[in-house]
Amino acid sequence: MIADSGRLLLVEDDLTLGKMVDDFLTGHGYRVRWESNGLRALGLIDSETFDALILDIGLPGMDGIQICRSVRDSFGGPIIMLTARGDEIDEVVCLEVGADDYITKPVRPRALLARLKVHLRRGDPQAHQTESSRLEIEGLVVDSTSRTVRLKTESGEENILNVTTAEFDLLLFLMQRAGEVVGRSEIYEQIQGIGYDGVDRSIDLRVSRLRKKLEDDPSNPKRIKSVRGVGYIFAVES
Ligand code: CA
């Protein structure tokens, strides 16, 4: 018997590709729900529980970008998009709407599986238990055991921020290195688990989404500052 690796929603209207991915991932212990219509997929995400979503972009009913945009704030697990090869606009848009990753077509199932494992592992609190659990800088509290981010108000209340798994990991990584300039390639390798190719904008897009959530002014950020041509620094006063 194969161990249960998690429950996935695969949204793909290409029957050959959908069947191949469904069979492959099922063979690797995932429970796969395969849906070909975007609108029906949205209904499933609302009514059922999934550990990760794999979304094609061009779909009947509702496209993958719209699905990602509408569920991103409520769905905390990884979202992986399937994009046409070489379509950089799609790739950028995917990350802008909060997808964690994308795989270019033709989809190589092994590559998809590898990315899926990386993203699911990051979302698993068990995998993070050895790290110290609570980090607080200037009223921003990150708890790596419960994987929550809280922002303290002036009156001392703590508001829980809604961040994705990928945003959480990036924020935690920068805060653990607070006061230190961290290179984009180092962040990339740490977060994505693969080498940096010098063009991927996913880290930059994630930082800009995080700034918004942290209520940090993008034109003059107080917390996550850009270091031109190098990377980022999580700023500390003093
Ligand atoms: Ca399609």
pLDDT at residue 125, rounded to an integer: 56
- Cα 57 to averaged position of ligand 1 atoms, centre (Å): 6
Where is 150: in which H helix or E strand?
strand 148-152
pLDDT at residue 158, rounded to an integer: 87
Where is 8: in which H helix or E strand?
strand 6-11
CA distance 193 to 197: 12
Model confidence band, residue 8 (pLDDT cutoffs 50, 70, 90): very high
3-state DSSP assignment of residue 41: helix
CA distance 169 to 171: 5
Q: 19: which 2 tokens?
A: 């069947």
Residue with the bigger pLDDT between 119 and 57: it is 57
- Cα 56 to averaged position of ligand 1 atoms, centre (Å): 6
Is the pTM value of this prediction over 0.75?
Answer: no
Question: Quick one: average pLDDT of 174-197?
Answer: 81
Question: Quick one: average pLDDT of 217-234?
Answer: 91
CA distance 46 to 142: 27
Phi/psi of residue 49, each to 5°? -110, 130
- Cα 213 to averaged position of ligand 1 atoms, centre (Å): 32
- Cα 22 to averaged position of ligand 1 atoms, centre (Å): 15
Q: Which of 122-136, 151-165, 221-235 has the lowest mean pLDDT?
A: 122-136
pLDDT at residue 223, rounded to an integer: 94
Question: Quick one: average pLDDT of 201-214?
Answer: 88
- Cα 38 to averaged position of ligand 1 atoms, centre (Å): 10
- Cα 14 to averaged position of ligand 1 atoms, centre (Å): 6
- Cα 43 to averaged position of ligand 1 atoms, centre (Å): 18
CA distance 25 to 30: 6
Averaged pLDDT score across all residues of the chain: 87
pLDDT at residue 3, rounded to an integer: 66
- Cα 192 to averaged position of ligand 1 atoms, centre (Å): 25
The CATH number corresponding to 127-234 among 3.10.690.10, 1.25.40.340, 1.10.10.10, 3.40.50.20 equals 1.10.10.10
pLDDT at residue 73, rounded to an integer: 85
Fold of the domain built from segment(s) 6-123: Rossmann fold (3.40.50)
- Cα 7 to averaged position of ligand 1 atoms, centre (Å): 22
- Cα 37 to averaged position of ligand 1 atoms, centre (Å): 10
Model confidence band, residue 205 (pLDDT cutoffs 50, 70, 90): confident
pLDDT at residue 2, rounded to an integer: 54
- Cα 157 to averaged position of ligand 1 atoms, centre (Å): 46
Model confidence band, residue 17 (pLDDT cutoffs 50, 70, 90): very high
3-state DSSP assignment of residue 74: coil
Residue with the bigger pLDDT between 159 and 201: it is 159
**Is 6's pLDDT higher than 80?**
yes
Q: What is the residue extent of each domain of the chain? A: 6-123, 127-234
- Cα 126 to averaged position of ligand 1 atoms, centre (Å): 35
- Cα 145 to averaged position of ligand 1 atoms, centre (Å): 38
Range among 153-157, 161-165, 234-238 rated most confident: 161-165
- Cα 234 to averaged position of ligand 1 atoms, centre (Å): 40
Task: Give me the percent of the chain exceeding a pLDDT of 70.
Answer: 90
The alpha-helical segments, DSSP class H, found in 28-86 are: 38-47, 64-71
The DSSP bridge pattern shows strands 30-35 and 6-11 to be: parallel
3-state DSSP assignment of residue 61: coil
Where is 130: in which H helix or E strand?
none
| Beta-bridge partner residues of 34 | 10
- Cα 13 to averaged position of ligand 1 atoms, centre (Å): 5
- Cα 58 to averaged position of ligand 1 atoms, centre (Å): 4
